[in-house]
Amino acid sequence: MRRLIYELIESVRIAAAQIRANKMRSALTALGVIIGIVAVTLMGTAIKGIDAGVDRSMAGFGDDILYVSKWPWHGVEDWWNYRNRRPIKHEYGPQINAWIAANPNSALKLAVPTGQRNTTIIRGEYRVNNIYTLGTTSDYARITRSDLKEGRFFSDFEGQAGSNVAVIGFDVADALFPNESPLGQTVRIRDQNFQVIGVVAKQGSFLGLFSWDSMIAMPLSTYRRYYRVGEGGELRVQVDNKRMAEAKEELQGLMRRIRGLGPEQRDDFEINEQGTIREQLDPIKNGIAMAGLFITGLALFVGAIGIMNITYVSVKERTKEIGTRKALGARRRTILLQFLVEAVAICFVGGVAGLALAAGLTSLVTVIAPSFPLVFSTGLVVVGLTVSVLTGIFSGFAPAWAASKLDPVVALRYE
Amino acid sequence: MTPVAPTATRPTRPPGKLVIQIDGVTKFYKMGEETIRALRGVALQIRRNEYLAIMGPSGSGKSTLMNMLGCLDTPTDGHYDFNGKNVAHMVDDELAEIRNHEIGFVFQTFNLLPRSNALHNVELPLIYAGLPRHERLERARQALTDVGLGDRMHHRPNELSGGQRQRVAIARALVTRPSIILADEPTGNLDSKTGVEIMDLFEQLYEQGNTIIVVTHEEDIARHARRIVRLRDGLIESDEPVA
């Protein structure tokens, strides 16, 4: 055991000397590994980035919200089974809140009815299309995670009175009021004037997911004055996020009672949660992972062949040295270890260089395109280094094995 | 040429216990269709404290015999006992063990590691022996001092003269305290003056109690030994003490 450690130290020492002596050759050989590691880390960065992007987009909505809707968020093939479901009525909101008040142990906290559709908002010359327009009660301010950049959310009074007031997202504000504060100004929605009373702080969005940045909110009673709620009706129910599953079950039971469903009848509503949106991104993440894996695999394979080749060259060049070492008592294991360590060392150096390059590229992307989410992590460093070491073992083994099997007599005679 | 040392004044140490005993050793190589009979039945006994020269023209089987004695190769047939251990049928790693512990090699081309300094070159066999670092360094320093290179320990081979390089190689051979020192044409790459110095060093080592086998084709070098074994066509032609 002790002997193995000494041999290992000696191998590392030889490998270091060898790389120092053949800098150019080692660098060129490591290039394949560098590319492979850059590919693997950027792929990991992108996948992690998608998660981070979703988190950022969703941050304003809170991860403790269940959405009671007519349609499930995930795509369904049997749409005809959903089409005839009854709309979600806003009256359910107060009913659920009454249940919550009566059951202090409930996992549910607060239900807020909403209506939503896409509208166009106009201010003088400026106009923005397809803005997610939310009608809701003043309670919404209590369940949202977003902060206001300026102004305020509408009050209970404004909610009940059906005032024409609006809270707008950052991007909407930016588009309509490029160089001034929107507060107290008027925007037109469906030929109606709305007074802007609040602007939500910037969140950033990702892959076109909903984000508060491109939204507008108005009191539900106002919304209902101008739009038929019908299909767009929804309830947002804040729950205890430590009891998510329990809350979902409770809400389901409650909704069935409100809807008056018999035990044999199926649910005619859907309880959605943010996780569904995440799941919908899985195919994208898998796609990136597959493509990345392919590129990485290819690059590493080419890199491995380069290293295998250079290790064969190294064995050939040092045949006489191998003979000498064997004459001095180096066993097969010793020689095997020596060349294996050398191949691994080149890969390891390549791996470190690749990681450094990937880290550099990541920060460059972050500077150039801040909205593009890339996340570099320690996990990736560990993966990158492990992959490079494994590549070294894979590519170095055959030549190292050949070296260990050399006949000392033949090796010593080699010139 | 090298002047022959006056044999009369040279001390001869009494032979000790048997180190090498080979009997009926043959070695055949296949070279394409042809079988080369490098050794055709050799018997030889070498005792501790001997100073032996193996001579012979090229093709006589001299190198093959040396490889066999040095446990770099195994015989096709015959017996080979090293310190009472049968090494004729040992596998690679067992032979490596014997070479590491029992044999000190000195090569014609020195065979030092070019990128390592003298100290590390001498330390190398002790790494393979599994000795701890402080002990390795201590013994390597001692060996280098013994061959007169105490002040050259941190020089690399390319910073040393030929004679100094061969001294490093001899220190490397000595450092494991082997049963025999096996030198293959040790002066072959040196000028005659340096060659004499190296042979003087072997003389000293012999007088200090080492067992030395020198393989050479030079009569003058061989005459430094106390016994000369001459090979011809894979057989021992003569085996006699140096007068």
- Show the low-confidence residues of chain A (pLDDT under 50): none
Indicate if the pLDDT at residue B6 is higher than 80. no
- Distance, in angstroms, between B199 CA and closest chain A CA? 22
Residue B145 exposure: Cα atoms within 13 Å on the Cβ side? 6
What is the pLDDT, as a whole number, of residue A99?
87
What is the pLDDT, as a whole number, of residue A64?
83
What is the pLDDT, as a whole number, of residue B123?
95
What is the pLDDT, as a whole number, of residue A81?
80
Mutate to test the interface with A, among B72, B73, B102, B121 (most CBs of A within 10 A): B72
Indicate if the pLDDT at residue B216 is higher than 80. yes
B27 touches chain A (CB under 8 A): no
Residues in chain B: 243
Question: How far apart (Å, rounded) are the C-alpha atoms in residues B199 and B221?
Answer: 8
B6 touches chain A (CB under 8 A): no
Q: Which structure tokens are listed for A159?
A: 């909610």
- Of B77, B40, B44, nearest to B61 by C-alpha is B40
Indicate if the pLDDT at residue B30 is higher than 90. no
CB A168 within 8 A of CB A187: yes
What is the pLDDT, as a whole number, of residue A404?
95
- Of A155, A132, A158, A156, nearest to A61 by C-alpha is A132
- Name the average pLDDT for chain B: 91
CB A117 within 8 A of CB A215: no
Indicate if the pLDDT at residue B1 is higher than 60. no
- Chain B residues in contact with A412 by the CB 8 A cut-off are 72, 107, 111
Beta carbons of B99 and A327 less than 8 Å apart: yes
Domain segments of chain B as ranges? 7-16+48-72+101-241
Which residue from A minimizes the CA distance to B65?
Answer: A409
Interface of A with B in 119-148 (CB under 8 A): none
B152 touches chain A (CB under 8 A): no
Strands, E, within B32-139: which ranges? 34-47, 51-55, 77-82, 85-86, 103-106
What is the pLDDT, as a whole number, of residue A207?
58
What is the pLDDT, as a whole number, of residue A205?
63
What is the pLDDT, as a whole number, of residue A32?
85
Beta carbons of A329 and B99 less than 8 Å apart: yes
Tell the CATH topology of B7-16+48-72+101-241. Rossmann fold (3.40.50)
- Chain B residues in contact with A6 by the CB 8 A cut-off are 127, 130-131, 133
Closest Cβ opposite residue A324 in set B67, B70, B111: B111
Q: DSSP letter at A77?
A: S
Question: Who's near A216: CB < 8 A, 6+ residues apart?
Answer: A119, A121, A131, A132, A133, A134, A166, A167, A168, A169, A172, A189
What is the pLDDT, as a whole number, of residue A191?
86
Which residue from B minimizes the CA distance to A404?
Answer: B92
Q: Record the pTM.
A: 0.72
| Residues B17-38 as b or e (16 or more Cβ within 10 Å = b) | eebbbbeebbbbeeeeeeeebb
Q: What is the average pLDDT across B125-149? A: 94
- Of A115, A66, A415, A100, nearest to A274 by C-alpha is A66
Beta carbons of A326 and B115 less than 8 Å apart: no
What is the pLDDT, as a whole number, of residue A369?
74
Beta carbons of B133 and A7 less than 8 Å apart: no
Question: How far apart (Å, rounded) are the C-alpha atoms in residues A273 and A234?
Answer: 13
Pairing of strands A126-136, A108-123: antiparallel
B107 touches chain A (CB under 8 A): yes
B111 touches chain A (CB under 8 A): yes
Q: How far lies A342's CA from each of A248, A382, B101, B120, B138, in Å? A: 57, 20, 27, 19, 28
- Of B224, B112, B223, nearest to B164 by C-alpha is B112
Residue range B161-215, pLDDT digits in tens: 999 999 999 999 999 999 999 999 999 999 999 999 999 999 999 999 999 999 9
